[in-house]
Copies of this chain bind each other. A is one copy, B any other.
Amino acid sequence: MNEFDKLKEKLKEKGFKLTTQRRVILDVIMENKNKHLSSEEIYDLVKRKYPEIGLATVYRTLQLFEELGLVYKLNFDEGRNRYELYQEDAHQHHHLICLKCGNVIEMEGDLLEDLEKLIEKTKNFEIVDHNVKFYGYCSNCRNKV
């Protein structure tokens, strides 16, 4: 099943409608799988394909997509949200944020199983998700003086 069928199905399931705007927004997010686009950036890209769209619609749709589990909301401490496509296979990755150039690098793999098990046990806390960011200096910036 492709992303659009997933969208259609999830919308129907909850009584939401499949609109052109929602289709185009998903389209843009899918075309930028490896990026971490902000709401404004998505708005700008969507406007190229659908110039009549309003900014509020983009915000509303991203929020809806997050609730539907289609996208993942990211926060890199910039005072704005970013989004990436939720991919079952590739979702388990962490973000490495360079303090010098600001680049965001992905570290694939989850590697938190042991820690999560320990937390569930010692805190009796049922973990359903996590958010992990590492701050430091990327290979590029390390090599410069």
Q: B-contacting residues of A (Cβ < 8 Å)? A: 73, 75, 77, 94, 96, 98-99, 105, 107, 111-112, 114-116, 118-119, 122-139, 142
Contacts and interface: CB of A to CB of B under 8 A. Distances in A.
Given A75-B75, A75-B77, A77-B75, A127 B134 contact: yes
Given A123-B139, A124-B139, A127-B135, 20 more contacts: A75-B77, A99-B128, A105-B125, A111-B115, A111-B118, A124-B142, A125-B134, A125-B137, A125-B138, A126-B136, A127-B134, A128-B136, A129-B135, A129-B136, A130-B133, A130-B135, A131-B131, A131-B134, A131-B135, A132-B132
A15 to B, nearest CB: 23
A75 B133 CA distance: 12
Contacts of A94: 119
* Copies of the chain in the assembly: 2
A116 B134 contact: yes
19 contacts: A94-B119, A96-B123, A96-B125, A96-B127, A98-B125, A107-B119, A112-B115, A124-B139, A125-B137, A125-B138, A126-B142, A128-B135, A128-B137, A129-B134, A129-B136, A130-B132, A130-B134, A131-B132, A131-B133
